[in-house]
Chain A
């Protein structure tokens, strides 16, 4: 299983919107509506922000939204805030109870 492809970095000013892409294949992202997104601050464990492509866990602000088209999933953060600065990873179910993570994207708030 090859890692899903994400941009290395994305930046934006406070209040702006940014979108992170996550490109897989027809065997993972394209095959299942089970893409999740994780936020990871330095030295901390990841935290789920989006699951099942576009669902938000309780407590996650609605500024975070997810979508998918074909083999590419996307995470959009609107109204960017300083605390959103972190690494973000996508993850897709890949069949047979296996998962594949993305390469990770560093979000910088300018």
Chain B
């Protein structure tokens, strides 16, 4: 069974940093591209970042470019999102999501990030 479990969320002050992790199991993690998708409270889904299976190709939404860094450790079956210079508009539930080729097929349960002073 495919499982994606996010961790590392919480409350952070504006301008602060946070590192999200996603532990993957039930599939060959190193064979899949992965994504981070977020959802602000009461709002819609927003694609944040993607990383290819080997980690070679990385892309970001304009809203986070230069502040967020996606990475992965295939030996640990883990995906990461380093978030720096956090703003109020970054507050959201962040989902780790597997890419099956031009769409996401599995999602984690999400982790809440709150940005407030």
Task: Verify A51–B102 contact, CB threshold 8 A.
Answer: yes
Task: Verify A98–B44 contact, CB threshold 8 A.
Answer: no
Task: Verify B109–A99 contact, CB threshold 8 A.
Answer: no
Task: Verify A48–B103 contact, CB threshold 8 A.
Answer: yes
**A38 to B: closest C-beta gap in Å:** 7
**Chain A interface residue count: which class?**
20 to 34
Bound-state CA distance A100–B104 (Å) is 12
**A32 to B: closest C-beta gap in Å:** 7
Instruction: Determine if B71 is an interface residue (Cβ-Cβ < 8 Å).
Output: no
User: A91 is contacted by which of B50, B61, B103, B110 (Cβ under 8 Å)?
Assistant: B103
CB contacts (< 8 Å) of B57 on chain A: these are: 97
Task: Verify A101–B45 contact, CB threshold 8 A.
Answer: yes
User: A98 is contacted by which of B61, B95, B105 (Cβ under 8 Å)?
Assistant: B61
**B27 to A: closest C-beta gap in Å:** 15
Instruction: Determine if B46 is an interface residue (Cβ-Cβ < 8 Å).
Output: yes
Instruction: Determine if A57 is an interface residue (Cβ-Cβ < 8 Å).
Output: yes
Task: Verify A48–B50 contact, CB threshold 8 A.
Answer: no
Bound-state CA distance A10–B28 (Å) is 39
Q: A45-B95, A89-B45, A99-B35 are in contact. Are A57 and B107 (CB under 8 A)?
A: no
> What are 9 A-B residue pairs whose CB atoms fall within 8 Å in the complex?
A36-B102, A46-B95, A48-B105, A52-B102, A93-B103, A97-B50, A99-B47, A102-B44, A104-B45
Footprint of B on A, CB under 8 Å?
Answer: 1, 3, 32, 34, 36, 38, 40, 45-48, 51-52, 57, 89, 91, 93, 96-104
